[in-house]
Amino acid sequence: MHTPTDIKTSWPDAIYGHFRRVGVRQVGYVPDAGHSRLIELCQADNSIADVVLTTEEEGVGLVAGAALGGQRAALLMQSSGVGNCINMFSLLRNCGFGCVGLITMRGEFGEFNPWQVPMGTITEDVLKLAGFLTYRIDDADAVDDIVGAGCDMAFDGNLQVAILLSQRLIGRKQWTR
């Protein structure tokens, strides 16, 4: 049995605080160790519909549907999930649906699993090509500021914003037997 450890827990609270501030009402996610605390905070909040997805691209449709119905939605995913979404991202850009994506990075700093590296190293470029504004965070102290600005740009301007939470921020994934 492998168990992820060494996940810091302070910055997810700052992200959640901005979800509350800007009125995020739906959150789509595929279960992820890096996002585990943020997912738990959203699940515990009755004003937020937490939607567990079978694949990240479903979340893109969710964001569009939520916006049609007057609600703001956020996506939580790993860098690998970005690759699953590429064609579906055209929905956001083509219709101008505001979206904020919080991307936990794999395949970079201290990655023990080489299978994560090919997608992890192209994630930010892929997002840019798909029309996203991207902001990368390496330092926990910057989370509050950047996530706040990203949420405002996404929802006030109907822009697509991706915030990359680096593997250095999240903490190297350590595996124990």
* Residue 91 binds other proteins, judged by CB under 8 A: yes
Q: In the window 68-87, what residues touch other proteins (CB under 8 A)?
A: 68-71, 73, 87
Q: How far apart are the first and last CA of the chain?
A: 6
CB-count burial class (<10 Å; 0-12, 13-18, 19+) for 109: middle
Instruction: Please pick, from the candidates 5, 10, 90, 113, the single residue that binds other proteins as defined by CB under 8 A.
Output: 90
- To other proteins, the closest distance from the beta carbon of 160 in angstroms equals 13
Of 70 and 114, the one with the shorter C-beta distance to other proteins is 70
Burial 47-76 (b: 16+ CB within 10 A, else e): ebbbbebeebbbbbebbbebbeeeebbbbb
Residue number, 10 or 90, with CB nearest to other proteins? 90
Q: Which of 38, 62, 147, 163 binds other proteins (CB under 8 A)?
A: 62
168 token code pair: 């250095």
Q: How far is the CB of 114 from other proteins (least distance, A)?
A: 27
Reading the block at residue 132, the tokens are 């996203």
Q: Minimum distance from CB of 37 to other proteins (Å)?
A: 21
Nearest Cα residue to 105 out of 149, 170, 36, 52:
170
Residues that bind other proteins (CB under 8 A): 25-26, 49, 51-55, 57-71, 73, 87-88, 90-91, 94-97
